[in-house]
Amino acid sequence: MSDLIQELVFSFQRLDWLSLVDLLLVTAIFFLLMRLLRGTQAVVLLRGMVLLVLAVALLTSLLPLPAFSYLFRTTLPALLIAVPVIFAPEIRRALERLGRAGDVFVSSSEPAQVDRIVGALCTATQRLADARRGALIVIERDVKLDEYQETGVQLDARLTPELLLQIFYINTPLHDGAALLRGDRVAAAACVMPLSASGTLSRSPERQMGLRHRAALGISEVSDAVVIVVSEETGSISVAHNGRMIRRLDQSRLRNILMAFYRPRAPRWIPVWFERLSARARPARRGR
């Protein structure tokens, strides 16, 4: 530990304005890369890899582990080569996003627009449930679902209850698959979604949940999308998010859930862990 402190002190003593410019350039490059990858599925994987590398580097610098250090030094180049292969789709989309840097995208919705979207979804979902028509509606949020949109039929149509009812009408070309919503528009229909492999549905006491529910859980596990599912067998309404599913929803409960997801999120200046720690400390102070 003392050797590490001495090395840090020695590095700070040699710091000059040119070294500061060098550090700022490297920091700016990493910042731009993170901005380009933001909103993709690669962020969590990249964060885990960075934390793993930092933990291993700290461990090898603090403790005399020659064999482990040799293994880390020999596998690090292979890891750096594997990164472009693992993140190839995200790098391609990031470069495309960089090419469209001049485009303006408005992510926030007006309250009247939110009421119209939620009302259209609730009306269409209830009518589909009453008619026992299966449906799978994926609502895109921060993580872009372009790769899944490309598997379906491109629509880019204004969201209305009649449009959703027509998409999921029995034996129509678009009813088999998911309808992808982006903002107040139906971006595509008949989209293929990944199936969940977590085994949550197989452990359920009820066996009425089929491929639509597995697809709803699957896309919710790999993104932050909110998914509405209507069972064709029972007519029950379910909502999937973050790998979890809420079942047997009526129209009022569905509206409350959708309004909670569509509600604009204020910028967070305090970390979540600090808010939770403060909330736990307040009852303890009151007890004293």
Structure confidence by residue, pLDDT tens digits, 63-97: 777 777 777 777 777 776 776 676 666 666 556 55
**Inter-residue contact 169 to 132 (CB < 8 Å):** no
The strand pair at 178-182 and 135-139 is best described as parallel
Helix/strand/coil percentages in the chain, nearest 5:
55, 10, 35
Q: What pTM, to 2 d.p., does this model score?
A: 0.59
**Inter-residue contact 187 to 156 (CB < 8 Å):** yes
Band of residue 3 on the pLDDT scale cut at 50, 70, 90: low
Q: Is the pLDDT score of 237 beyond 90? A: yes
User: How far apart are the C-alpha atoms of 7 and 2, rounded to whole Å?
Assistant: 9
Please give the domain boundaries of the chain with CATH numbers for all domains: 2-99 (no CATH), 111-262 (3.40.1700.10)
Structure confidence by residue, pLDDT tens digits, 119-155: 999 999 999 999 999 999 999 988 889 999 999 999 9
Query: Which amino acid is present at 118?
Result: V
Question: How many C-beta neighbours within 10 Å does residue 213 have?
Answer: 24
Structure confidence by residue, pLDDT tens digits, 203-225: 555 455 688 999 999 898 888 89
- Compute the C-alpha angle 183/185/186, nearest 5°: 115
Residue 243 Ramachandran class (φ > 0 left, ψ -120 to 50 alpha, else beta): left
Mean residue pLDDT across the chain: 77
